Amino acid sequence: MSDLSIGGLGLSPPNPQLSTTQVDDAVAGLEFDAAGLLPAVVQDDHDGAVLMVAWMDAEAVRRTLTTGRTWFWSRSRRRYWQKGETSGNVQHVRSVTADCDNDTLLVRVEQVGPACHTGTRSCFSRPLGGGG
C-alpha cells in the first residue's frame, strides 16, 4: 500500500500498528467546514480515474485510516456509510492525501465493481453541454 500523507505522517491504511494518537494527529491537521465535513475525491489507484466524491467528517476519516476501506458521512441520511456495504462494490484504500489547504482529501483506492450507485464505473460519466 501507498503512504498516507496527512499532517506530515507517513501511514499506510489499514495498519494494525497505527496508534490512536497517530490517527488523531493526522485528523487534527485537517480543516473541516462549518458542518464538520470535507470533500473526499476518490480515485482509482491503478489508472487515476476519478470515481466519485463524497463527504467525510473526522470519524469517517478515522474509520477509513484504521480499516483500509472507505467510510463517508451521508448528509441526506445523516449517518455513516461504508462504500460497498449493500452493493458489495467495495473500495480498498491505497493512500489518503490532503491537499495544500488540508481541506480536501484524495483517496486512492482499488475499486471492486462499479463505484457509482447507478452501476457505472465512475460517477463522472455525463458530459455537460452535449459534449461527447
Residue 29 falls within a domain, yes or no? yes
Residue 90 falls within a domain, yes or no? yes
pLDDT: which is higher, 6 or 51: 51
Look at the chain and report how many structural domains it folds into.
1
Residue 132 falls within a domain, yes or no? no
Residue 120 falls within a domain, yes or no? no
Residue 119 falls within a domain, yes or no? no
User: What are the DSSP E strand ranges found in 28-122?
Assistant: 38-44, 50-56, 71-74, 79-82, 91-98, 105-111
Residue 64 falls within a domain, yes or no? yes
- CATH code of the domain containing 13: 3.10.20.810
Residues 79 and 104: their CA atoms lie apart, in Å, by 20
Amino acid at 113: G
Residues 83 and 75: their CA atoms lie apart, in Å, by 15
Domain range for 67: 4-113
User: What percent of the chain has pLDDT above 90?
Assistant: 77
Counting Cα atoms < 13 Å in the Cβ hemisphere of 56 gives 30
- The string of pLDDT tens digits covering residues 60-88 is 999 999 999 999 999 999 999 999 999 99
pTM of the model: 0.86
CB 65 within 8 A of CB 105: no
Q: How many residues are there in the chain?
A: 132
- The string of pLDDT tens digits covering residues 23-61 is 999 999 999 999 999 999 999 999 999 999 999 999 999
